[in-house]
Structure 1
């Protein structure tokens, strides 16, 4: 089964949009809130080419970007393939 991991913060409309996208596709995901873990957020940024915004979305351990990136993949018909749903 494909694992989706979404790093979020509480007041982030893009985080909510990302979660809603995966819910609409009936894809389960794990959410990790970064509000109180600035060290983890800094580590994730350093490991992913300096990416600093949330959400940070990973599919099977591979960083795909944020909501705009996931939504673009979905509109191009590529997200379902990454999720093993096609």
Structure 2
């Protein structure tokens, strides 16, 4: 399964829901980048995604987006194939 990275904060409810969705689709390891603990990583997230909100999810090199984007991808039956496309 591809590497999943999620830019997050410690108390973000959307991050928790995104993690729950990913785990329900078989993701065992999520590399969480806590931008509230590492301000330099916040800058990295903004530069990399062009967005300031969390979560920001990457599956491999593909920027999926935030929770709404992740959820929409799942509803369109695109999440599992993306996770399996190694």
CA separation in 1, counterparts of 2:54 and 2:10?
10
Alpha-carbon displacement from aligned partner over 1:38-83 (angstroms, at most 9, x marks no partner): 12111221222x2000111000022110111011000000011111
**C-alpha contact 2:7 2:45 (8 A) present in aligned 1:** no
* Alignment-derived partner of residue 52 in structure 2: 52
* Alignment-derived partner of residue 9 in structure 2: 9
Structure 2 unmatched ranges of 5 or more: none
Q: Aligned Cα RMSD in Å? A: 1.3
Structure 1 unmatched ranges of 5 or more: none
Structure 1's consecutive aligned runs of 4 or more residues displaced over 6 angstroms after TM superposition are none
User: Paired residues, what number?
Assistant: 84
Alpha-carbon displacement from aligned partner over 1:17-56 (angstroms, at most 9, x marks no partner): 00000111121222221112112111221222x2000111
TM-score in terms of structure 2 length: 0.88
* Alignment-derived partner of residue 71 in structure 2: 71
